[in-house]
Amino acid sequence: MEWARRLGGRAVTDAVVAVIVALIIRYAIVDPPGPSSWWPAWSAWLVAAVMSIPVAVRRRRPRAMLALACAAGVLATVAGAVAAGAIWVSFVPTVLVLYLVASTTSVGWSVAGLTASAFAAVTAVLIFYERVFPGLAPAAAPSELPPAWPIEIGTICVLLAAGWAIGTAVRWKRDTTARLLRHLAEAAVADERRRIARELHDVIGHSMSLIAVKATVANHVAEARPQEVRAALAVIEQTSRSTLTEIHRVLDLLRSDGDPQQAHLPVPGMADLPELAAHARSAGVEVNLTVREGAAIPPAVAMSVYRIVQQALTNVITHAAPTRCSVTVDIDGREAVIEVVDDGPRHGRPPRASHGGHGLIGMRERAKMYEGTFHAGRRPEGGFRVSARLPYDRRGTKA
């Protein structure tokens, strides 16, 4: 059955606990601390079994089993089938079921269950000591602790309150853990969205800047030099295709697990830096690229290096082209050091805009991922300088 498969080992545990409780109740009935019950001895097994059944099946219908356990204890007490001086043992099943109710249902239901159980138990004990107890035969041996209703009521109330309190604490812990897990999941989703937004910003920003520059050139020389228009359109076509490929790769991260998988597209890295430099040259930036790889670099770090260089060149194309720019990347096995320096606009023309904005924020965040450093600012002699240092270990995580 489906419910049995869901419960699994818990159902077995509850059954074992029910058997143990039944044995304890039976022992208390046949050998009570006070006068023995007038019921026949064999009935102790039947009474103990009926009282313990709710413990074995409490996980199926906790509230109904609480009512059944409490009703069984009350009826056995009023009928005189319990152990005088140990009536509280008859309400142990009620305590165990009340714990489950408090740990799985709302506070309102658990408080109502506690109140009803306590009221019913107290009433049953008072009836027993007023009507049943006086008619029982005296015990063969006097008990060190003679039967007394205040002790019985106090013990039952303490047990019920303890079961309810423990169950409530368990439910609070579960709810708190669930809220924490939801918060962590939402934070992970937000981080992933920011990462994807940063990737898209780098891809689209670089490509659209290059396309805009080439389109402007083509528009100005369309009639005088048509061959340059054709070259500019070729650059625009190539850039558009590569940009679409990059966008598809980034957007694939948004796929759910059930979506069909496409062929894995390579992640950009160190080998793609010359292509970045070529794109910048086609937009009027004289790029001098120097890459010194003293050791192999993990793919994650290589992609971060690529993105930082890409965004720095995008800023140069957007704000300073035509100009001259030097790109230096040093890899020594422990850290990646990147420096992108441009000479500023030629002919003394002021830059079109500041190099600030989301591009610098994205580069700074990439450096921060590896607990590295990032600096960007104007140079006294003119132009702009971007530098970043990414410490890492062999696994591509922060050093």
Q: Give the model's pLDDT for residue 262.
A: 46
Note down the domain range covering 11. 2-184
Same domain, 127 and 215: no
Q: Are 25 and 90 in contact (CB under 8 A)?
A: yes
Instruction: Provide the CATH number for the domain around residue 374.
Output: 3.30.565.10
Same domain, 23 and 40: yes
Q: Give the model's pLDDT for residue 193.
A: 66
Same domain, 236 and 366: yes
The answer to the question of residue 399 being in a domain is no
The answer to the question of residue 398 being in a domain is no
The answer to the question of residue 371 being in a domain is yes
Same domain, 178 and 216: no
Same domain, 197 and 121: no
Q: How many domains does the chain have?
A: 2
Same domain, 55 and 175: yes
The answer to the question of residue 376 being in a domain is yes
Each residue's pLDDT tens digit in the chain (399 positions)? Answer: 444 455 557 888 888 888 998 898 888 888 777 777 778 878 888 888 899 999 988 888 889 999 999 999 999 888 888 887 788 889 999 999 999 999 988 888 999 999 999 999 999 999 988 888 777 766 666 555 567 788 889 999 999 999 999 999 999 998 888 788 778 767 766 776 676 666 666 666 666 666 666 666 666 666 666 666 666 666 666 666 666 666 666 666 555 444 444 445 567 788 889 988 888 887 778 899 999 887 778 887 888 888 889 888 888 887 777 889 999 999 988 889 999 999 888 765 555 545 555 578 778 888 888 888 999 999 888 889 999 999 987 655 565
Same domain, 225 and 242: yes
Q: Which of 184, 213, 242 is the last residue of a domain?
A: 184
Same domain, 9 and 150: yes
The answer to the question of residue 260 being in a domain is no
Q: Give the model's pLDDT for residue 299.
A: 80
Q: Which of 143, 158, 184 is the last residue of a domain?
A: 184
Same domain, 75 and 119: yes
Q: Give the model's pLDDT for residue 1.
A: 46
pTM: 0.53
